[in-house]
Chains A and B, each alone.
Chain A
Protein backbone atom coordinates (compact mmCIF):
# COMPACT_ATOMS: atom_id res chain seq x y z
CA UNK A 1 0.00 0.00 0.00
CA UNK A 2 1.35 3.43 -0.98
CA UNK A 3 2.35 5.66 1.92
CA UNK A 4 3.63 9.16 2.55
CA UNK A 5 7.25 9.03 3.69
CA UNK A 6 8.81 11.51 6.09
CA UNK A 7 12.24 11.88 7.63
CA UNK A 8 13.59 12.18 10.17
CA UNK A 9 11.02 10.70 12.56
CA UNK A 10 12.53 12.52 15.51
CA UNK A 11 14.71 15.62 15.73
CA UNK A 12 16.21 17.29 18.79
CA UNK A 13 17.92 20.60 18.26
CA UNK A 14 18.99 23.65 20.19
CA UNK A 15 17.32 27.00 19.68
CA UNK A 16 18.84 29.16 16.96
CA UNK A 17 19.91 26.08 14.98
CA UNK A 18 18.55 25.19 11.56
CA UNK A 19 16.41 22.10 10.95
CA UNK A 20 14.99 20.55 7.81
CA UNK A 21 12.28 17.98 7.25
CA UNK A 22 11.67 15.92 4.13
CA UNK A 23 8.48 14.47 2.70
CA UNK A 24 7.81 12.14 -0.22
CA UNK A 25 4.09 12.00 -1.06
CA UNK A 26 2.14 9.08 -2.46
CA UNK A 27 3.13 8.60 -6.09
CA UNK A 28 0.90 10.61 -8.40
CA UNK A 29 -0.51 12.87 -5.71
CA UNK A 30 -0.43 16.44 -6.97
CA UNK A 31 -1.25 18.16 -3.70
CA UNK A 32 1.13 18.19 -0.74
CA UNK A 33 0.50 19.71 2.67
CA UNK A 34 2.71 20.56 5.64
CA UNK A 35 0.96 20.77 9.01
CA UNK A 36 2.16 21.57 12.51
CA UNK A 37 0.43 19.89 15.43
CA UNK A 38 1.00 21.08 18.96
CA UNK A 39 0.14 18.61 21.71
CA UNK A 40 -3.57 18.70 22.50
CA UNK A 41 -4.48 20.60 19.35
CA UNK A 42 -5.51 19.69 15.83
CA UNK A 43 -3.13 19.96 12.87
CA UNK A 44 -2.65 23.50 11.57
CA UNK A 45 -1.86 24.02 7.90
CA UNK A 46 1.50 25.67 7.29
CA UNK A 47 1.75 25.39 3.51
CA UNK A 48 -0.08 23.68 0.66
CA UNK A 49 1.42 22.89 -2.76
CA UNK A 50 -0.36 22.05 -5.98
CA UNK A 51 2.40 20.40 -8.01
CA UNK A 52 5.34 22.79 -7.53
CA UNK A 53 3.24 25.89 -6.82
CA UNK A 54 2.29 27.23 -3.40
CA UNK A 55 -1.52 27.39 -3.03
CA UNK A 56 -1.66 28.59 0.57
CA UNK A 57 1.13 29.66 2.92
CA UNK A 58 -0.84 32.22 4.89
CA UNK A 59 0.00 30.56 8.24
CA UNK A 60 3.68 29.93 7.49
CA UNK A 61 5.96 32.13 9.65
CA UNK A 62 7.99 33.30 6.69
CA UNK A 63 10.65 35.03 8.76
CA UNK A 64 11.95 31.64 9.85
CA UNK A 65 10.13 28.94 7.89
CA UNK A 66 10.53 28.05 4.24
CA UNK A 67 9.16 25.25 2.10
CA UNK A 68 9.86 24.06 -1.39
CA UNK A 69 8.68 21.41 -3.82
CA UNK A 70 10.97 22.10 -6.74
CA UNK A 71 10.01 19.27 -9.09
CA UNK A 72 6.47 18.86 -7.86
CA UNK A 73 7.24 15.58 -6.12
CA UNK A 74 9.04 15.54 -2.76
CA UNK A 75 9.23 18.54 -0.48
CA UNK A 76 11.42 20.08 2.20
CA UNK A 77 10.34 22.25 5.13
CA UNK A 78 13.07 24.28 6.83
CA UNK A 79 13.18 26.25 10.05
CA UNK A 80 15.99 28.72 10.65
CA UNK A 81 16.52 29.67 13.40
CA UNK A 82 14.50 27.25 15.52
CA UNK A 83 12.76 28.64 18.60
CA UNK A 84 11.49 26.89 21.72
CA UNK A 85 7.90 27.39 20.57
CA UNK A 86 8.55 25.38 17.41
CA UNK A 87 8.52 22.12 19.38
CA UNK A 88 5.68 20.13 17.82
CA UNK A 89 4.83 17.31 15.44
CA UNK A 90 5.33 18.26 11.79
CA UNK A 91 3.03 16.32 9.53
CA UNK A 92 3.13 15.94 5.78
CA UNK A 93 0.05 14.85 3.86
CA UNK A 94 -0.82 14.36 0.21
CA UNK A 95 -3.97 14.07 -1.85
CA UNK A 96 -4.68 13.16 -5.45
CA UNK A 97 -6.38 16.40 -6.39
CA UNK A 98 -7.95 19.54 -5.07
CA UNK A 99 -10.63 21.54 -6.84
CA UNK A 100 -12.82 24.50 -6.05
CA UNK A 101 -15.76 22.43 -4.83
CA UNK A 102 -14.30 19.50 -3.01
CA UNK A 103 -10.96 18.49 -1.61
CA UNK A 104 -9.78 14.97 -2.11
CA UNK A 105 -8.90 12.86 0.89
CA UNK A 106 -5.58 13.63 2.57
CA UNK A 107 -3.25 10.84 3.63
CA UNK A 108 -0.72 11.60 6.34
CA UNK A 109 2.86 10.50 6.77
CA UNK A 110 4.20 9.33 10.17
CA UNK A 111 5.33 12.85 11.11
CA UNK A 112 8.52 14.35 12.52
CA UNK A 113 8.58 15.05 16.24
CA UNK A 114 10.69 18.18 16.79
CA UNK A 115 12.04 19.13 20.20
CA UNK A 116 13.82 22.46 20.55
CA UNK A 117 15.97 22.83 23.66
Chain B
Protein backbone atom coordinates (compact mmCIF):
# COMPACT_ATOMS: atom_id res chain seq x y z
CA UNK B 1 0.00 0.00 0.00
CA UNK B 2 1.35 3.39 -1.00
CA UNK B 3 1.79 5.80 1.89
CA UNK B 4 0.08 8.69 0.07
CA UNK B 5 -2.36 7.87 -2.70
CA UNK B 6 -3.85 10.13 -5.33
CA UNK B 7 -5.83 9.45 -8.46
CA UNK B 8 -3.43 10.14 -11.32
CA UNK B 9 -6.16 11.59 -13.53
CA UNK B 10 -6.36 13.46 -15.72
CA UNK B 11 -9.28 15.21 -14.11
CA UNK B 12 -11.00 17.38 -16.67
CA UNK B 13 -13.38 20.18 -15.65
CA UNK B 14 -14.90 23.08 -17.60
CA UNK B 15 -13.82 26.63 -16.87
CA UNK B 16 -15.74 28.08 -13.93
CA UNK B 17 -16.53 24.69 -12.37
CA UNK B 18 -15.33 23.30 -9.05
CA UNK B 19 -12.39 20.89 -9.23
CA UNK B 20 -12.16 18.35 -6.42
CA UNK B 21 -8.83 16.63 -5.78
CA UNK B 22 -8.52 13.82 -3.26
CA UNK B 23 -5.73 12.21 -1.28
CA UNK B 24 -5.58 9.37 1.24
CA UNK B 25 -2.68 8.50 3.53
CA UNK B 26 -1.74 5.40 5.47
CA UNK B 27 0.06 6.75 8.57
CA UNK B 28 -2.65 7.54 11.12
CA UNK B 29 -0.24 9.62 13.18
CA UNK B 30 0.47 12.12 10.38
CA UNK B 31 0.42 15.72 11.56
CA UNK B 32 0.91 18.06 8.62
CA UNK B 33 -0.73 18.08 5.21
CA UNK B 34 0.25 20.12 2.17
CA UNK B 35 -1.01 20.74 -1.34
CA UNK B 36 1.47 21.74 -4.03
CA UNK B 37 0.84 22.73 -7.65
CA UNK B 38 3.39 21.71 -10.28
CA UNK B 39 3.33 22.95 -13.84
CA UNK B 40 4.98 20.76 -16.45
CA UNK B 41 8.76 21.03 -16.24
CA UNK B 42 8.63 23.28 -13.18
CA UNK B 43 9.15 22.73 -9.46
CA UNK B 44 6.32 22.31 -6.93
CA UNK B 45 4.72 25.47 -5.60
CA UNK B 46 2.91 25.50 -2.25
CA UNK B 47 -0.82 26.19 -2.42
CA UNK B 48 -2.00 25.40 1.10
CA UNK B 49 -1.21 23.56 4.28
CA UNK B 50 -3.62 22.23 6.89
CA UNK B 51 -3.02 20.75 10.33
CA UNK B 52 -6.46 20.47 11.94
CA UNK B 53 -9.61 18.60 11.03
CA UNK B 54 -12.11 20.61 9.03
CA UNK B 55 -11.89 23.15 6.24
CA UNK B 56 -9.34 25.85 5.51
CA UNK B 57 -10.07 28.43 2.83
CA UNK B 58 -7.66 30.66 0.92
CA UNK B 59 -9.14 32.55 -2.00
CA UNK B 60 -10.48 30.06 -4.54
CA UNK B 61 -8.87 27.13 -2.72
CA UNK B 62 -10.28 25.09 0.17
CA UNK B 63 -8.41 22.28 1.87
CA UNK B 64 -10.40 19.72 3.82
CA UNK B 65 -8.91 17.32 6.36
CA UNK B 66 -10.53 14.29 7.98
CA UNK B 67 -7.98 12.51 10.16
CA UNK B 68 -10.41 9.77 11.20
CA UNK B 69 -10.84 8.78 7.56
CA UNK B 70 -7.18 9.60 6.73
CA UNK B 71 -8.36 11.78 3.91
CA UNK B 72 -7.42 15.23 2.67
CA UNK B 73 -8.88 17.07 -0.29
CA UNK B 74 -8.44 20.27 -2.24
CA UNK B 75 -11.32 22.14 -3.84
CA UNK B 76 -10.68 24.75 -6.51
CA UNK B 77 -13.63 27.04 -7.13
CA UNK B 78 -14.16 28.94 -10.37
CA UNK B 79 -11.49 26.85 -12.09
CA UNK B 80 -9.40 28.67 -14.69
CA UNK B 81 -7.32 27.28 -17.57
CA UNK B 82 -4.26 28.54 -15.67
CA UNK B 83 -5.11 26.03 -12.92
CA UNK B 84 -4.24 23.21 -15.33
CA UNK B 85 -1.32 21.47 -13.64
CA UNK B 86 -0.41 18.47 -11.49
CA UNK B 87 -1.45 18.76 -7.86
CA UNK B 88 0.71 16.99 -5.30
CA UNK B 89 -0.51 15.97 -1.87
CA UNK B 90 2.21 15.77 0.82
CA UNK B 91 2.01 14.36 4.34
CA UNK B 92 4.41 14.68 7.26
CA UNK B 93 4.76 13.42 10.80
CA UNK B 94 3.59 10.22 12.45
CA UNK B 95 5.94 7.26 12.29
CA UNK B 96 7.73 8.97 9.40
CA UNK B 97 8.96 11.62 11.79
CA UNK B 98 10.44 14.60 9.97
CA UNK B 99 10.08 13.00 6.54
CA UNK B 100 7.55 14.39 4.08
CA UNK B 101 5.92 11.84 1.79
CA UNK B 102 4.51 13.03 -1.53
CA UNK B 103 1.80 11.43 -3.59
CA UNK B 104 2.33 10.91 -7.31
CA UNK B 105 -0.03 13.77 -8.08
CA UNK B 106 -3.30 14.31 -9.93
CA UNK B 107 -3.26 15.99 -13.33
CA UNK B 108 -5.96 18.62 -13.68
CA UNK B 109 -7.10 19.99 -17.02
CA UNK B 110 -9.44 22.99 -17.09
CA UNK B 111 -11.17 23.39 -20.44
CA UNK B 112 -11.79 26.92 -21.67
Residues of A within 8 A of B (CB): 33, 40-45, 48, 55-56, 89, 91, 98, 100-103, 105-111, 113
- For the complex, what is the distance from the CA of A45 to the CA of B90, rounded to whole Å? 12
Chain A residues with Cβ below 8 Å from B43 are 89, 91, 108-111
On whether the beta carbons of A103 and B51 are closer than 8 Å, the reply is: no
69-112 of chain B: CB within 8 A of chain A: 88, 90, 92-93, 97-100, 102-105
Given A101-B93, A102-B51, A105-B34, verify A45-B46 contact (CB < 8 Å).
Answer: no
8 Å CB contact of A91 from B4, B44, B105: B44
On whether the beta carbons of B88 and A45 are closer than 8 Å, the reply is: no
On whether the beta carbons of A101 and B46 are closer than 8 Å, the reply is: no
- For the complex, what is the distance from the CA of A111 to the CA of B44, rounded to whole Å? 9
- For the complex, what is the distance from the CA of A45 to the CA of B36, rounded to whole Å? 15
Contact with A along B10-50 (1 / 0, CB 8 A): 00000000000000000000011010100001111110010
On whether the beta carbons of A56 and B51 are closer than 8 Å, the reply is: no
A sample of 29 inter-chain contacts (CB < 8 A) reads: A41-B104, A42-B4, A42-B90, A42-B102, A42-B103, A42-B104, A43-B88, A43-B102, A45-B99, A56-B99, A89-B43, A98-B98, A100-B97, A101-B93, A102-B32, A102-B92, A102-B93, A103-B93, A103-B100, A105-B46, A106-B34, A106-B46, A106-B100, A108-B36, A108-B44, A108-B45, A109-B43, A110-B42, A111-B43
On whether the beta carbons of A44 and B102 are closer than 8 Å, the reply is: yes
> Considering only CB atoms and an 8 Å cut-off, how many residues of chain B contact the other chain?
26
On whether the beta carbons of B98 and A48 are closer than 8 Å, the reply is: yes
Residues of B within 8 A of A (CB): 4, 8, 31-32, 34, 36, 41-46, 49, 51, 88, 90, 92-93, 97-100, 102-105
Besides A42-B4, A42-B103, 7 other CB < 8 A contacts?
A: A55-B98, A91-B43, A102-B92, A105-B34, A108-B44, A110-B43, A113-B41
On whether the beta carbons of B31 and A107 are closer than 8 Å, the reply is: no
Chain B residues with Cβ below 8 Å from A110 are 42-43
